[in-house]
Amino acid sequence: MKKIIYVTGNWSKILSAKQILEPLGIEVEQVKMETTEIQADTVEEVAMHSAKEASDKLKATVLKNDTGLYVEALGGFPGPYTHYVDERIGEDGLLKLLKGVENRNACFMEAFAYCEYGKEPIVFKSITKGKIAKKKSGTYGWSWDFIFIPEGYNKTMGNYPDDERCLVWNTDAYRELANYLKDKKD
């Protein structure tokens, strides 16, 4: 069985990875460690940098991700700066930026960087489409969960318990990673 160390402190990311990858013969182990979160123009660059750093430190194959919230009416902002924007203005600030704006289309792009020790990372992406609510709603989750309504739903992510919320996210990247590893010769 192949093993990947998923460098994250987020239990729902581990749960999703295990549900998809372990039945395919890929063991997922969690390691919590700090990596440098560079400021870059894409979430892919951020994930790749963090994955390479973690792989070099652990001398192991790792998976690291970065997620960006892209709001159409704001030209894709905050995008790769989502974490920074969350810390500075949060969901209340984003709602103020969208006050009076009708186009509330948005998506979360998640870039998963897979990095074998001594090699360059490979990136797989998932996109979860939705829209930004006009006001915060819900008691579950954190941050953007209270204002993001996934496509096909009529409530923010914050209205769904943890076990339901983790099923809403697009998991294409995990499946692409699993296919890549299945086809890869050791």
What is the distance between the alpha carbons of residues 55 and 43, in angstroms, rounded to a whole number? 18
pLDDT at 184: 73
86: pLDDT strictly greater than 60? yes
What is the distance between the alpha carbons of residues 95 and 85, in angstroms, rounded to a whole number? 12
pLDDT at 79: 95
Mean pLDDT across 3-25: 87
Residue 167's contacts (CB-CB under 8 Å, 6 or more residues apart) are none
As a whole-number percent, the residues of the chain with pLDDT over 70 amount to 98
157: pLDDT strictly greater than 90? yes
Residue 86's contacts (CB-CB under 8 Å, 6 or more residues apart) are 78, 143, 144
Q: Which domains does the chain have, with CATH numbers?
A: 2-183 (3.90.950.10)
Helix (H), strand (E) counts: the chain: 6, 7
Cα-based torsion angle of the residue sequence 131, 63, 142, 19 in order, rounded to the nearest 10 degrees: 80
pLDDT tens string 39-71: 899 999 999 999 999 999 999 999 999 999 999
Tell me the sheet residues that pair with 125.
111
Nearest-10 crossing angle of helices 11-21, 172-183? 50
Q: Left (φ > 0), alpha (ψ -120 to 50) or beta: where does 75 sit?
A: left
Residue 55's contacts (CB-CB under 8 Å, 6 or more residues apart) are 61, 62, 115, 116, 117, 118, 121
87: pLDDT strictly greater than 90? yes
pLDDT at 1: 67
Mean pLDDT across 78-105: 96
pLDDT at 123: 97
Catalytic residues: 66
Structure tokens at 145: 């969960």
